[in-house]
Copies of this chain bind each other. A is one copy, B any other.
Amino acid sequence: MSAERFEKKKTIDLRKKHIGPSCKIFFSHDPIKIVQAKGQYMYDEKGQRYLDCINNVAHVGHCHPDVVKAGAQQMELLNTNSRFLHDNLVLYAQRLQATLPDKLSVCYFVNSGSEANDLALRLAWQYTGNKDIITLDNAYHGHVSSLIDISPYKFHQSSDAEQNQYVHVAPSPDVYRGKYRGEHLDPATAYADEVKDMVQRVHKKGGKIAAFIAESLQSCGGQVIPPQGYFQQVAQHVREAGGIFIADEVQVGFGRVGTHFWAFQLQGEDFVPDIVTMGKPIGNGHPMSCVVTTKEVAEAFMSSGMEYFNTFGGNPVSCAIGMAVLDVIVKEDLQGNALRVGRYLTNLLEKQKEKHPLVGDIRGRGLFVGLELVKDRLKLTPATAEAQEVIYRLKEQYILLSADGPHRNVLKFKPPMCFTTEDADLVVDKIDHVLTGIGKVIFIIPEEGHFVAKPAVMQSTGTQKVHTNYIMFFKVTKHWGKTLNLAIVLHCHY
């Protein structure tokens, strides 16, 4: 199979014609065509190499040969559903179980993080007999309808979304920008008490809590690290109300946090969720995922009398691939690498914070790191345009990074786990360069106000080149001839 069949322009045209326009592409005004990838590198149609800092799905490295081999061999032999006995299914379940606390012993294999989180809700509803769900602000748990309902990150995007009456949004336990911050004496208790109060409000209205769901570390929500002890306290409040705790590890599981295999374990050994959902990295890109729960929850689900069948879930190929991923994590000590390289990266970024006022916060665990850009370190004014600028400039330097969070001002690092200290040096060096240049753009403007310009009329200093491919919208807030802090809104979607 040739790596490229069409000229890039033809690919773009066909995509516009045949792919749903809600499916956004990176760098929409000059998208990247990737034809090959290996380890932490991706290659475009001209052979240009990109350093990948964002694809946490390619967990053990793009196209890892052990994973490819396991998948290809099993595809040749058998790929069928779980209504037949197969050793891969039970062996893989046993191996996943071995990474978890003992009481999390029962697996349901499904095809995506969305299927996993939806099933987690079904398990919670059936086990508790209750309906109400508490979710966190800015949370994203998946794209099926039940999960849009519990994903403020999504339903806030829609102009006409109604909030589901059974869904209640607690504050995100963000100690940088949230309701209780770093200077608070006990943010874990303060945030957990918000959930406690919410439970009481729900009860007063006649509701009953089925579950609290949270990513163990919030990803799209802005790389948020909840304070230690928060989950324990939330779990206590929620369980006292008859509900259960669902830890969503779809983005952050499988050793990424370095010190532990699962991110919920960062909270301490005394914390065990009732349900853990897994996804993205589990199959290094193969469509698969898993829900793990307790015997009690599983038995309650069965007692409804309703069978659960998932056509592709737990097929022998998916399980073979899943086991190969676990093997590579151990064999290449990728969890250890995440810890070491993650610390190295975080240290480098901390130095950027000392150097650039725009860098408001560095936070992370292992190879899950966020860098939050702010215009003012006291007011925490989000530097959204600057974050977009960094992403675009890095792309021009063949580095893939993304910005996320409610204000899209948090640079997200979640690279393949084979990321090296050299890769960290490279990306931080480039970020340094871009941050040095930002805010020094000299621009000839007719008057204060909104202004649309082709890049040709713009000059830049401090960066290697100006953008050439997209129209920019500037909001100019200072006067003629002065050095400007431009609010640049690129007309593109992330």
- Seen from chain A, the residues whose Cβ lies within 8 Å of a Cβ on chain B are 1, 3-6, 8, 11-12, 14-15, 17-26, 31-37, 42, 55, 57-58, 62-63, 65, 67-68, 70-87, 89-91, 93-94, 97, 105-108, 111-115, 118-119, 121-122, 143-146, 148, 154-155, 157-161, 279-280, 284-288, 293, 298-299, 301-302, 304-315, 317-318, 320, 493
Contact = CB atoms under 8 A, between A and B. Distances in A.
29 contacts: A5-B87, A11-B87, A15-B89, A19-B106, A19-B107, A20-B293, A20-B298, A20-B302, A21-B298, A23-B307, A24-B309, A25-B83, A33-B84, A33-B86, A34-B78, A36-B77, A37-B79, A37-B80, A63-B79, A68-B75, A72-B75, A112-B112, A114-B310, A122-B148, A145-B145, A155-B306, A157-B304, A279-B311, A286-B312
Contacts of A68: 72, 75-76
B18 A105 contact: yes
Contact of A143 (B4, B143, B305, B309): B309
Q: Interface centre among A33, A83, A112, A320, by most B CB within 10 Å?
A: A83
A80 B75 CA distance: 19
Contacts of A293: 20
Given A21-B106, A119-B143, A146-B146, 17 more contacts: A1-B73, A5-B91, A14-B91, A18-B97, A19-B82, A19-B106, A20-B108, A34-B78, A36-B78, A37-B80, A57-B80, A57-B311, A62-B78, A67-B75, A68-B75, A143-B310, A154-B306
Question: How many identical chains are in the complex?
Answer: 2
Contact of A159 (B87, B105, B161, B304): B304
Q: Interface centre among A4, A11, A97, by most B CB within 10 Å?
A: A11
B90 A6 contact: yes
Contacts of A122: 145, 148
A414 B117 CA distance: 31
A267 B67 CA distance: 45
Contacts of A72: 68, 71-72, 75
Contacts of A315: 285, 287
B288 A287 contact: yes
Contacts of A73: 1
A163 to B, nearest CB: 14
A18 B90 contact: yes
A160 B303 CA distance: 10
A204 to B, nearest CB: 23
Contacts of A298: 20-22
A86 B35 contact: yes
Q: Interface centre among A18, A37, A108, by most B CB within 10 Å?
A: A18
B106 A20 contact: yes
Contacts of A161: 304, 306
A27 B489 CA distance: 60
Interchain residue pairs A-B with the least CB separation, the first 7 = A14-B90, A18-B93, A72-B72, A287-B312, A22-B308, A33-B85, A79-B285
Given A14-B91, A32-B85, A37-B78, A144 B159 contact: no
Contacts of A62: 78-80
Contacts of A8: 85
Contact of A158 (B70, B118, B148, B305): B305
B21 A299 contact: yes
Contacts of A3: 77-78
A309 to B, nearest CB: 7
A34 B80 contact: yes
A114 B318 CA distance: 18
A7 to B, nearest CB: 10
A302 B81 contact: no
B14 A94 contact: yes
Contacts of A15: 85, 89-90
B115 A114 contact: yes
A31 B65 CA distance: 34
Nearest to A402: B83
Contacts of A81: 55, 57
